[in-house]
Every structure is written in C-alpha cells, then in structure tokens.
Structure 1
Amino acid sequence: MSHNLDIQQFKADFFKALAHPLRIKILEILAQGDKSVNEILELLELEGSAVSQQLSILRSKNIVIGNKEGNRVIYSLRDPAIIELLSVAKKIFNNHLIDTITILDKVNEMKS
C-alpha cells in the first residue's frame, strides 16, 4: 500500500512542478533539443531572472538537467518521456477544445 502512496506522491509533486505556464514553455523548448539559458531566453523573449528561477525549480525536481560546457550551462530534459507527456496534454486540451466548440455550435444552432 505504501508503494502506491509513494507513486501517488511522486505524481503529485511532479505535476506541481509542471504547474506553471513558463515552466511548460521551457519544457516545450527543451523538447526540441538541448539549449543554453541564453537560447531559452531568446526563444521566450523574456529577461533572465524569471527563466532562471523556473529552470531552478525544474532542476530541483529532476525534470531538467544542466550540464556545464565552458562558461555556459546547457539544459536538457532528464527523461524524454516528458515529450510524450506534453504531447498527451496537448491532445487532451485539443479534445476539450473540440468538445467545447461542438457544444457552442449546438447552442448557436438552437438559437437560430
């Protein structure tokens, strides 16, 4: 029983670590390949402190890893399965969106 609770706690902590739009965006960027902080900043068009803070949280939860190369740190996803997770989340979002559009279409048909 405690093993199941451990897994549930891991999942809860894992999803908590993902529960921020900027962290999700960083993961989507890293899903396309390893990037330095400067490359992430350029793609996000943001200033450094917010991105560094979010990268630090992702690192502390072992979701991303940072490897020093010279004077820069290159970030990568610790587990490529995160790419699949983001893809599944997008599918769920799209299904939800399609359901919402279908309901709105039905409502609009009833009005006309």
Structure 2
Amino acid sequence: MGVPLYQAKAELFRTLGHPVRIRVLELLQAGPRPVRDLLADIDVEPSNLSQQLGVLRRAGLVSSARTGSSVVYTLSTPAVADLLAAGRRILSAVLTDRDELLVQIDAERQQS
C-alpha cells in the first residue's frame, strides 16, 4: 500500500517550508532561470542554493536541464505557481483579519 494522501501533502508542505525554496519557486514563475541568475537574486552561498534546488528537484517541484555549461531550472508544472498564488491569497486574508482585529483593539483601548 502506498503513502496516504494526507502524508504526501504534509511532505509537500514540509518541502515548501524553507524561505530559499520559496524564493526559488517565486523567481521561476517568470520562466526558466540558470543557476547563476538564481544566485544573483538570492543572497545565499552556492552550496546552499544547490542543496535547496536538489530538495525541490527530488520533490518534483522543479526540473533542470543542462544548456552548454549552465544548468537551467524551471517549474515542473504551472500548478506550482498556482500554489504560490493560493499562499499569497491566504496570507492576505489572514493578515487583513489581523489588521482589522488590531484596529478594534486600538479602538477599545482608546475608549477605556
């Protein structure tokens, strides 16, 4: 018997649980990028970026191809960009709710 779906989802979200990996995925939404371009846009050591790219590749979220002396990465499916967009929408809703709550708290504090 294979891995239960909920466990596979949990592993996917664990994979997304690193800021460098999220940043890589965000950058790749614009299209394929060679490693040197990713390094220029992300302030990490080359070995750290290589490790994070490996995690993303093993999870199936990115694919890579050698072009001359460069390795170029791309999102493995447009659904990865959809997932990032869903994350932005969720954060926006959550943060908006928190902002509204803070306004209410401040208003109550001023009335006291």
1:11 aligns with 2:36: no
Structure that is richer in helix per residue: 1
Distance, in Å, in 2 between the alignment partners of 1:31 and 1:96 is: 24
**Letter of the 2:74 counterpart:** S
Q: Runs of 5+ in structure 2 lacking a partner? A: none
Q: Which position in structure 1 is the counterpart of 2:29?
A: 31
Unaligned runs of 5+ in 1: none
Tell me the percent identity: 33
Equivalent residue of 1:65, what SS?
A: strand
Q: Quick check: 1:63 aligned with 2:90?
A: no
Cα deviation, residue 45, structure 1: 3.3
Query: Structure 1 CA distance, aligned partners of 2:16 and 2:43?
Result: 20
Within a 5 Å distance, the mapping from 1:1-112 to structure 2 comes to: 6-112=4-110
In the comparison of the two structures, how many residue pairs are matched? 110
Which residue type is aligned with residue 35 of structure 1?
R
Shift of 1:32: 1.2
Equivalent position amino acid for 2:25 in 1: L
AA partner of residue 30 (structure 1): L
Give the Cα separation in 1 of the matches to 2:43 and 2:94. 29
- Superposition misfits of 4+ residues, deviation over 6 angstroms: none
Pairwise CA RMSD of aligned residues?
1.4
